[in-house]
Amino acid sequence: QWYRANEEFPEKPTRDDHQEILDEALCYACFNNRLDAARFLLERGANPNAKPFYATALHFAVAKDNIELVDILMEAGADLFIEDDNHRSTPQGWAEWGCQDKMSDYLLSIMADSDLVHSVAAGDSNKVQKLIAQSSKRELMGEKGKQALLEAIESGNEEIEKILRDGGARLCLSSAAAIGSIEDVEYLIGQGLSPNSTMTVSVPVPGSHAVEKEISALLLAAVNRHEKVCRKLLDAGAKVDLYVAAALNMVSEVQGFIDGGIEVDAVDQFGRTALHRAIQGDAVDVIRFLLDKGADPERSADFFSYGPRAVHVAAQAGASRPVLELLLAAGVDLNGSSNLGTPLECALRENQDETAAILKEFGAESEED
């Protein structure tokens, strides 16, 4: 993505609408850290929430780590909660992604005053209790409550998790499956939720903004290797497709799908093949079967030609030695780069230390080596 690489803006058609020109110029000003220009354009009526380049001026000010510029935009009415069109991320999300801790904390402290999810992210139990007191039980049982509870669980804040649960917040089935919360999964299935429940996620697609796709609770549990949750969902009647079967190491089922006419390198709605899903599940038998069937380990694992390959997926997922040995025997490039960096960099970024050690043993290097 052009803004990730801190490069120039993409070419855009010539504009003749006065408002559009102002809005575009404001984004340029923020992208280039031009405080005086930003003030001038805002005074002339530039809209700080316009997105002529997939994101707002505030996103670009955050990307440049300029708190003074952020303040100028917020004073002009910039929306802290607005998402960019490519990744559905707020300005604070951009700061977090860019490892700009000071900026991220600054934005989070402001957002926490009025938003339950961000008050949880800030770890402020007093603000959480205040916002819960201002919310109805229906609101807490809704999407905001689900997001807030997931944030508390993932951050390990048991105090806030209890506050939210006592207030009526519950995870959705897909989130519970993804994090391996068997208690929540059993509760939700017991309440009559379908084991085939899905979660909507945004997927970057070339030549377009991010598009929304559905991912099943069972696939989320499978690729995150939550065996008890998978068993519960299967017992409750969850459907198994090629990609779930691959992640769960179901060789006979995978063979049945392929014998039935599905191509071995067919991709799911996220651009991942059965091999990629099997690697995420550390499904050694299926990986061996798919490679024997001609699965391509150098195929991109997303819709971009420069996306991660099978070995990058393995590095991210914390693959075991047998999985890495199979991929090495299949001829993968241990030092091949992608939009996520080298396999070793992927493993280190995801704190997959054991996998990183095995990769180094096999000769993997980072681009900095």
Q: And the tokens for 247?
A: 């992640």
Same domain, 197 and 96: no
Give pLDDT tens digits for 107-159: 888 887 778 988 998 898 998 998 898 888 788 888 889 989 999 999 999 99
Please report the pLDDT score of residue 4 as a whole number: 39
Query: Which residue among 198, 218, 238 closes a domain?
Result: 238
Same domain, 246 and 356: yes
Q: And the tokens for 309?
A: 């390959």
Give pLDDT tens digits for 167-177: 989 999 999 99
Q: Which residues contact 323 (CB under 8 A, 6 or more apart)?
A: 279, 282, 284, 287, 314
Give pLDDT tens digits for 175-202: 999 999 999 999 999 999 999 999 998 8
Please report the pLDDT score of residue 3 as a whole number: 36
Same domain, 5 and 51: yes
Same domain, 134 and 205: no
Look at residue 148 and tell me if it is in a domain: yes
Same domain, 210 and 124: no
When comparing pLDDT for 224 and 122, which is higher? 224
Rounded to a whole number of angstroms, the CA Rg of the chain reads 23
What domain range includes position 157? Answer: 112-170
Look at residue 216 and tell me if it is in a domain: yes
Average pLDDT over residues 41-58: 94
Please report the pLDDT score of residue 103 as a whole number: 93
Look at residue 107 and tell me if it is in a domain: no
- pLDDT band at 11; cut points 50, 70, 90: low
Cα 304 to Cα 1, 34, 205, 235, distances in angstroms: 10, 33, 7, 36
Same domain, 119 and 208: no
Rounded to whole angstroms, the Cα distance separating 262 from 278 reads 16
Q: DSSP character for 241? A: -
Look at residue 258 and tell me if it is in a domain: yes
Amino acid letter, residue 3:
Y
Give pLDDT tens digits for 18-36: 899 999 999 999 999 999 9
> H or E segment at 287?
helix 284-292
Cα 133-135-136 angle, rounded to 5 deg: 110
199-228 per-residue burial string, b: 16 or more CB within 10 A, e: under 16: bebbbbeeeeebeebebbbbbbbbbbbbee
Please report the pLDDT score of residue 234 as a whole number: 98
- pLDDT band at 5; cut points 50, 70, 90: very low
Same domain, 147 and 216: no
Query: Which residue among 190, 215, 238 closes a domain?
Result: 238
Give pLDDT tens digits for 69-79: 999 999 999 99
Cα 332 to Cα 253, 275, 314, distances in angstroms: 26, 13, 11
Report whether 295 contacts 273 (CB < 8 A): yes
Look at residue 145 and tell me if it is in a domain: yes
Please report the pLDDT score of residue 68 as a whole number: 95
Q: DSSP character for 213? A: E
Same domain, 263 and 307: yes
Cα–Cα nearest to 47, from 67, 17, 92: 17
61: Cα within 13 Å, side-chain hemisphere: 27
Please report the pLDDT score of residue 91 as a whole number: 94
Same domain, 353 and 245: yes
Give pLDDT tens digits for 271-330: 999 999 999 999 999 999 999 999 999 998 887 777 889 999 999 999 999 999 999 999
- pLDDT band at 6; cut points 50, 70, 90: very low
Same domain, 290 and 352: yes
Query: Which residue among 144, 170, 196 closes a domain?
Result: 170
The domain that contains 354 carries what CATH number? 1.25.40.20
Same domain, 71 and 161: no
Look at residue 315 and tell me if it is in a domain: yes
Report whether 153 contacts 183 (CB < 8 A): no
Rounded to whole angstroms, the Cα distance separating 234 from 122 reads 37
336: pLDDT strictly greater than 80: yes
Domain tally, the chain: 4
Same domain, 342 and 276: yes
Look at residue 190 and tell me if it is in a domain: yes
In the chain, which ranges are E strands? 198-203, 211-216
205: pLDDT strictly greater than 80: no
Please report the pLDDT score of residue 305 as a whole number: 72
- pLDDT band at 7; cut points 50, 70, 90: very low
Look at residue 160 and tell me if it is in a domain: yes
Give pLDDT tens digits for 240-288: 999 999 999 999 999 999 999 999 999 999 999 999 999 999 999 999 9
